[in-house]
Amino acid sequence: MPKLWGGRFTKGVSKLMSEFNDSLPFDRRLWKEEIEASTAYSSALGKAGIFTRQQQTNVARALREIGKEFSGGKFRFRPEDEDIHTAIERRLVEKVGETGKKIHTGRSRNEQVATDERIFLKSAAAEAGVLIRELQSAVRDLAASTRDDILPSYTHLQQAQLIRLGHYFMSLFFMLEDDYRRLNDLEARIDVLPLGSGAVAGSTVKIDRSLLKRELSFSELSPNSIAAVSDRGFITDFLFVAAQTLIHLSRFAEDLIMWSSTEFAFVELDDTYSTGSSMMPQKKNPDSLELIRGKVARSISDLTSLLTLQKGLPLTYAKDLQEDKEPMFDSVDTLFSSLRVFSGVISTLKVKRANLMRNTDDSIYATDIADYLVEKGMPFREAHKVVGRLVLAGTETGKRLREFPTAELKAISPLFDSEYYKIFDPHKSVEGHDVYGGTSSKRLKEQFNLADRILSRRKAGKR
């Protein structure tokens, strides 16, 4: 069988070229979107008088049957099928004969591919939203069960100040909330229908584009046919959000990997999300999290590929754009699997409470001591210096900060008094951070309340 476009050719393409040119190996994944768009297009052709009512009914029925062939794994591709668009058109002609040959009237694959991708990404974005919400909910539950566990926070990977573990986990909740909002924002840009744009200049057939918009449930019609067939910014948007979401996951994956080491031993991953070593019998490795950390590389390279693909590309459509689909699919798959696995890790994670403060000494209270001196009237910069000297004295003498006698403290600053010894209390320390967004129990409660409002919006069906 010749190619659909074979009329002006005297020779067929080489086998090598055919393999190089065909996008079917990857764009077959768009069969559902292609059938949906073609069905809507057949209605518009009916309205434009290209199909009679009967012909349009036959075409729509045949497309439904082709859909069933795909879902039942029975669709047979043929060697001349270049891509999913030509494969479905070829099969339609087989099924309804001459009438089928009219389906491409006024239509171009340039608009078909952009349309299919937009339909695909609209549902991918909705699914990503659901998966982010599921992870947020698992994170919220873990945060609630660890709200009273106290551990050192780290800056520069050095112990900084005490925080509630629940507060730490809620930081992931709110980073994911940003990702969720980014997703919501980009949906408006995906939700624009190119169909009716033709190859580049707009269809020559009087296609009722509003009918297409209604049938395909799009919010807007592309206002410019050139932009509609050329632009892939809507895919870039999605790939960026996917990469940013995965980057968030990778940072928490990294912390949890460290925290599951013998040195930290703050957490233990469930067996269901760990694997062993083929050689060292004692090993329990956090492979789930390592893979999530590793997969971010793919996602970033997908984004980079898509950006590079578009750079300097002359308007309008060029075959380069066929290369947009593999990064798109890969990003979607990587994002979905990583979100699912991360949810599993989080909802089965065991916290080893007893170890959280194991490697913390009194210097973790240094800022609290400075704050205490500030309360007594010392300017902060001065207090910082005084506590620095105290910490140094502790290091030199091997004495814990709480072991300094009042006399020695007074020699450093006369403002020290017996209240000083009450500082070394983890609870008191975290409760001192009582500002909106802080780590005190009251402020953490506010975060849970906000999270619950966010999560219940989903249940009420609002996105």
Closest approach, Cβ 347 to ligand ARG, in A, equals: 39
Q: How far apart are CA 267 and CA 353, in angstroms?
A: 8
Closest approach, Cβ 15 to ligand ARG, in A, equals: 18
Closest approach, Cβ 226 to ligand ARG, in A, equals: 14
Cα 431 versus chain centre, distance = 34
Closest approach, Cβ 186 to ligand ARG, in A, equals: 21
Q: How far apart are CA 119 and CA 439, in angstroms?
A: 43
Q: Which residues bind ligand ARG (CB under 6 A)?
A: 23, 27, 83, 109-110, 113, 317, 321-322
Closest approach, Cβ 229 to ligand ARG, in A, equals: 9
Catalytic residues: 156, 277
Number of Cβ atoms within 10 Å of the Cβ of 281: 7
Beta bridge mates, 350:
268
Nearer to ligand ARG, 110 or 222 (CB): 110
Nearer to ligand ARG, 27 or 89 (CB): 27
Nearer to ligand ARG, 126 or 318 (CB): 318
Nearer to ligand ARG, 80 or 431 (CB): 80
Nearer to ligand ARG, 23 or 39 (CB): 23
Nearer to ligand ARG, 230 or 322 (CB): 322
Closest approach, Cβ 113 to ligand ARG, in A, equals: 4
Nearer to ligand ARG, 12 or 276 (CB): 12
Closest approach, Cβ 191 to ligand ARG, in A, equals: 21
The two structure tokens encoding residue 410: 């007074």
